[in-house]
């Protein structure tokens, strides 16, 4: 309090008095936001803790390296893990070329003012919001049976999951391509590069971190999907690892689904343990995606 | 963009205050009298011995809006030609006709003729990629590729399939842009780590690496500080021994310092803001444009009365 000193005037005299209501409103707003956030976090925490209490005691090396069994003590998730890894492989193999090519076409070549291209754009946005079970029906009708008739195989499951996430991959890849400033393309073209050289050697490489992030997040969504796999008829009791694309398979979410529907409590504990494994897998994938984004994404 | 719409700033003053009641029909930006069309010959100097470019009644429109109209001028070889004028006068648009950069804008439409060493650049058998191989360009904002300094320079020669040692090509290009001594020890570093002035010189080196015949510079110093600007101007003086340079600049002093010839463009205010059309007003040796302009608008502009 030095207001009395020579020449110095009180703050309120120079700047005016702030209305008390403003401060109270600010504080109230922050409080509401914090409360809403904590509700979401609380629900998540309860789920995680509950799962951990049930599942952690079941986790062991033998759980990871055993096949399903009618006896809970002997049952494990090896075939579910390998099935999930196979699915990841198929999904990646399909969505990267298809997703990037579609995104390149829509961003760089398609004339956005044409009706046809606008229809494609709107449809891709819509497809991203279609429930995954619808893709399951599609997979059952056209991939498992129908024109492709692949049967209940790894390939059929992977293709169906790829369809589920393809719209998201296209959308995120387009965003990554759009994030490259037009000046880069102009710079390349001004040097006498063809359109293709400019895209292939400058725009695409610059957008790879963004595309990779989108692809990884899409894969992590795909391996958590259950409904489409149930519809395409993946088995829930598979006592062997997939041997190829034409092999029957199961996957982690299916194994979890099947154990949870068992009346026996011990199987539910196993399901909790499998959930933990799936969560760890998802956290790893998301961590890789975030690391990629933070380390390699170009700041223009 | 420091100066917002310099064209309208001083020229609308004679029109104000508007006659009461009738004012809304005439926007403030409209000049008091329509600009008379330029009589070619008296202010447009055509006597150039070795023109690199000749434009004949060149007009560019974006969609239905005419951006710049009826530009006829000749750009001399191995000299520096400056295009000056207020924002929106079409000087950049004309520059971008010289390497067909306007092709990238789907709505852009070019009419009239641009001849490069006698060849119609917009002829049906001309490939824009071939044009850009001969005619380099440097942009307003430095736009290095997000790669190493070396890769930035090597990109052009690589896509053009140039023969010879890439190390030598890169070194020579960097030397021509007087950047070699600054960067020779960090060729593998990312170009984004350089200062703005260095980045712009890298972009010049990048353009020089393909041995262009012409270098187009679109306000190359507008994002740079005075020291970096000075270095680029020195560089331009050295470069004009080997390449013809066309520079668009906002900065009249820069045009006066570096150029041999100057073209002055103006914005012809139409009935609305959308109908602003750029026109060439006067073109000739820089000395004459700045000391003895024939057109009063040129005189007003170069003496700082508007713009």
Of B129, B139, B210, the CB nearest to A183: B139
**pTM score:** 0.81
The 8-class DSSP code of residue A141 comes to: I
* Tokens read off for B264: 């002055």
Give the distance from residue A113's alpha carbon to the nearest chain B alpha carbon, in angstroms: 10
The closest of B217, B257, B219, B197 to B86, measured between CA atoms, is B219
Taking CB atoms and an 8 Å cut-off, how many pairs form between chains A and B? 67
- Whether A296 has its CB under 8 Å from any CB of chain B: the answer is no
For the stretch B186-210, pLDDT in tens is 999 999 999 999 999 999 999 999 9
Please report, in angstroms and rounded to a whole number, the separation of the first and last CA atoms in chain A.
Answer: 48
Q: What is the pLDDT, as a whole number, of residue B24?
A: 40
B132 touches chain A (CB under 8 A): yes
**Considering only CB atoms, which chain A residues are within 8 Å of B143?**
181, 183-184, 186-187
pLDDT of res. B269: 77
Q: How many helices (H) and strands (E) does chain B have?
A: 11, 10
CA distance B72 to B261: 14
- A271 pLDDT tier (thresholds 50, 70, 90): very high
Domain boundaries of chain B, sorted by first residue: 38-302
B96 reaches A (C-beta below 8 A)? no
What average pLDDT does the segment A54-74 reach?
A: 89
Find residues 182-211 of chain A whose CB sits inside 8 Å of chain B: 183-194, 197, 201-202, 206
Banded model confidence at residue B271, pLDDT cuts 50, 70, 90: low
What is the C-alpha separation between A198 and A193, in angstroms, rounded? 6
Tell whether the model's pLDDT for residue B7 goes beyond 70.
no
Q: Which of residues 152-171 of B touch A (CB under 8 A)?
A: 155-156, 159-160
Best to test chain B binding among A177, A180, A183, A187 (most B CBs inside 10 Å): A187
A217 to chain B, minimum CA–CA distance in Å? 25
CA distance B262 to chain A (A): 24
| Banded pLDDT at B159 (limits 50, 70, 90) | very high
Give the pair of three-digit tokens for residue A198.
């400019």
Find where tokens 């009708």 sit.
A141
CA dist., res. A199 & res. A210, Å (int): 15
Contact A184 B210 (CB under 8 A): no
- Which of B:269-298 have CB within 8 Å of A? none
**Got the DSSP string for A73-100?**
GG---HHHHHHHHHHHHHHHHHHHHHHH
User: How distant is the Cα of A223 from the closest Cα of chain B, in angstroms?
Assistant: 34
Please check whether residue A241 touches B, CB under 8 A: no
The residue of chain B with its CA nearest to that of A201 is B155
- Cβ of B99 within 8 Å of Cβ of A186? The answer is no
Please report residues of B whose CB lies closer than 8 A to that of A300.
Answer: 146
Cα–Cα distance measured from residue A195 to residue A193, given in angstroms and rounded to the nearest whole number: 6
Confidence of residue A68 (pLDDT cuts 50, 70, 90): confident
pLDDT over 80 at B15, yes or no: no
Q: A280 pLDDT exceeds 70?
A: yes
User: Exposed, middle or buried, A97 (CB in 10 Å: 0-12/13-18/19+)?
Assistant: exposed
Which of A108, A120, A204 minimizes the C-alpha distance to A167?
A: A120
Residue-wise burial string across B247-261, b where 16 or more C-beta atoms lie within 10 A, e elsewhere: bbbbbbebbbbbbeb
Answer yes or no: is pLDDT of B263 > 90: yes
d(CA A271, CA A261): 10
Q: How would you classify residue A101: left for phi > 0, otherwise alpha for psi between -120 and 50, otherwise beta?
A: alpha
For A292, the 3-state DSSP assignment is helix
Average pLDDT of the residues of chain A: 91
Q: What is the C-alpha separation between A189 and A191, in angstroms, rounded?
A: 5
Could you say which of A184, A185, A191 has the minimum Cβ distance to residue B210? A191
C-beta of residue B264 within 8 angstroms of C-beta of residue B301:
yes
Cβ separation A206–B206 shorter than 8 A: no
Identify from B99, B101, B139, B146 which residue to disrupt to test chain A contact, counting A C-beta atoms within 10 A and taking the largest count.
B146
Interface contact flag, A187 B206, Cβ < 8 Å: yes
Question: Is some CB atom of chain A closer than 8 A to the CB atom of B207?
Answer: yes
Dihedral angle over CA of B288, B291, B297, B303, nearest 10: 150
User: Is the pLDDT assigned to residue A217 strictly greater than 60?
Assistant: yes
Q: How confident is the model at residue A193 (pLDDT cuts 50, 70, 90)?
A: very high
Closest residue, chain B, to A197 (C-alpha): B159
Distance between CA atoms of residues A63 and A94, nearest Å: 31
What does the pLDDT look like over B27-75, one tens digit per residue? 444 444 444 444 444 466 666 778 999 999 999 999 888 999 999 999 9
Domain ranges of chain A: 74-296
CA distance A289 to A219: 11
pLDDT tens digits for B62-116? 988 899 999 999 999 999 999 999 988 999 999 999 999 999 888 899 999 999 9
Residues facing residue B108 across a β-bridge: B62
pLDDT of residue B44: 66
> Which has more pLDDT, A2 or A285?
A285
| Percent of chain B topping pLDDT 90 | 69
Q: What DSSP element (H or E) covers B175?
A: helix B166-176
Query: How far apart are alpha carbons A152 and B301 in whole angstroms?
Result: 78
B contact test, residue of A110, A177, A191, A205 with most B CBs within 10 A = A191
Which pLDDT score is estimated for B43? 63
Mean pLDDT of A130-159: 93
Q: What is the pLDDT of residue A6?
A: 59
Rounded-to-integer distance, Cα A241 and Cα A238, Å: 8
In angstroms, rounded to a whole number, what is the distance separating the alpha carbons of residues A78 and A70?
15
Burial A133-151 (b: 16+ CB within 10 A, else e): eebbebbbebbbbeeeebe
Say what the pLDDT of residue B272 is: 66
Coil, strand or helix: which one is A218?
Answer: helix
Cβ separation A192–B132 shorter than 8 A: yes
Asked if B139 has any chain A CB less than 8 Å from its own CB, the reply is yes
Which CATH class name applies to A74-296? mainly alpha
User: Looking at CA atoms only, how far is residue A105 from chain B in angstroms?
Assistant: 16
B99/A190 CB distance under 8 A: yes
Name residues 104-123 of chain A within 8 A of B (Cβ). Answer: 111
pLDDT reported for residue A239:
83
Q: Is B62 on the interface with A (CB under 8 A)?
A: no
Nearest Cα to Cα of residue A189 among A201, A177, A206: A201
Query: Interface pTM (ipTM) of the complex?
Result: 0.82
Question: Above 50 in pLDDT, residue A197?
Answer: yes
DSSP letters spanning B176-193: HTT-HHHHTT-TTSBGGG
Superfamily of domain B38-302: P-loop containing nucleotide triphosphate hydrolases (3.40.50.300)
B9 pLDDT higher than 60: no
Cβ–Cβ under 8 Å, residues A273 and A60:
no
Mean pLDDT of A42-56: 94
Q: Is B159 within 8 Å of A197 when comparing Cβ atoms?
A: yes
Cα A154 to chain centroid distance, Å, stands at 20
Write down the pLDDT at residue B13. 39
Mean pLDDT, chain B, rounded, equals 85
Residue B2: what pLDDT? 41
pLDDT band at A5 (very low <50, low <70, confident <90, very high): low
């Amino acid at each position: 309090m030095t207001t009395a000193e020579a020449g110095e005037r009180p703050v309120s005299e120079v700047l005016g008095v702030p209305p008390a209501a403003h401060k109270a409103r600010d504080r109230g707003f922050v409080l509401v936001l914090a409360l809403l956030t904590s509700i979401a976090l609380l629900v998540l925490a309860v789920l995680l803790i509950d799962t951990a209490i049930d599942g952690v005691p079941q986790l062991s090396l033998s759980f990871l390296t055993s096949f399903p069994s009618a006896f809970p003590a002997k049952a494990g998730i090896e075939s579910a893990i390998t099935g999930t890894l196979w699915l990841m492989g198929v999904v990646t193999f399909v969505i990267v070329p298809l997703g990037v090519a579609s995104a390149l076409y829509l961003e760089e070549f398609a004339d956005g003012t044409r009706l046809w291209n606008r229809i494609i754009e709107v449809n891709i946005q819509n497809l991203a919001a279609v429930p995954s079970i619808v893709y399951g029906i599609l997979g059952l009708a056209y991939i498992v049976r129908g024109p492709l008739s692949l049967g209940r195989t790894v390939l059929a499951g992977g293709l169906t999951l790829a369809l589920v996430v393809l719209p998201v991959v296209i959308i995120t890849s387009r965003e990554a391509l759009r994030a490259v400033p037009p000046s880069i393309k102009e710079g390349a073209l001004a040097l006498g590069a063809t359109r293709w050289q400019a895209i292939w050697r400058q725009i695409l490489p610059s957008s790879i971190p963004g595309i990779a992030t989108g692809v990884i997040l899409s894969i992590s969504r795909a391996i958590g999907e259950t409904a489409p796999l149930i519809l395409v008829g993946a088995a829930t009791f598979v006592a062997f690892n997939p041997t190829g694309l034409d092999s029957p398979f199961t996957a982690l979410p299916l194994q979890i689904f099947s154990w949870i529907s068992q009346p026996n409590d011990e199987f539910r504990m196993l399901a909790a343990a499998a959930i933990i494994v799936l969560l760890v897998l998802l956290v790893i994938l998301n961590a890789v995606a975030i690391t990629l984004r933070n380390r390699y994404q170009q700041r223009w | 963009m420091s100066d917002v719409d310099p064209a309208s700033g001083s020229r609308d003053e004679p029109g104000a205050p508007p006659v009461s009641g009738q004012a809304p029909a005439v926007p403030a930006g409209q000049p008091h009298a329509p600009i008379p069309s330029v009589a070619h010959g008296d202010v447009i100097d055509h006597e150039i011995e070795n023109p690199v470019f000749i434009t004949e009644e060149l007009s560019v429109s974006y969609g239905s809006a005419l951006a710049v109209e009826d530009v006829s001028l000749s750009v001399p070889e191995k000299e520096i030609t400056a295009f000056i004028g207020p924002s929106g006068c079409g000087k950049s648009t004309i520059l971008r006709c010289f390497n067909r950069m306007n092709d990238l804008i789907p709505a852009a439409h070019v009419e009239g003729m641009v001849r490069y060493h006698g060849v119609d650049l917009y002829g049906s058998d001309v490939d824009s990629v071939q044009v850009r191989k001969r005619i380099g360009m440097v942009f307003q904002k430095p736009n290095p590729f997000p790669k190493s300094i070396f890769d930035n320079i090597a990109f052009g020669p690589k896509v053009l399939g140039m023969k010879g040692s890439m190390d030598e090509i890169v070194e020579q290009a960097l030397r021509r842009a007087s950047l070699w001594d600054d960067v020779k020890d960090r060729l593998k570093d990312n170009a984004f780590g350089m200062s703005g002035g260095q980045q712009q010189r890298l972009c010049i080196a990048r353009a020089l690496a393909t041995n262009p015949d012409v270098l187009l510079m679109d306000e190359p110093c507008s994002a740079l500080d005075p020291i970096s600007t000075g270095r680029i101007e020195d560089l331009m003086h050295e470069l004009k021994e080997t390449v013809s340079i066309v520079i668009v600049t906002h900065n009249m002093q820069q045009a006066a310092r570096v150029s041999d010839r100057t073209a002055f463009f103006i914005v012809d205010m139409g009935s609305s803001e959308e109908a602003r059309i750029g026109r060439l007003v006067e073109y000739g040796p820089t000395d004459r444009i700045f000391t003895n302009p024939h057109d009063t608008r040129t005189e007003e502009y170069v003496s700082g009365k508007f713009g």
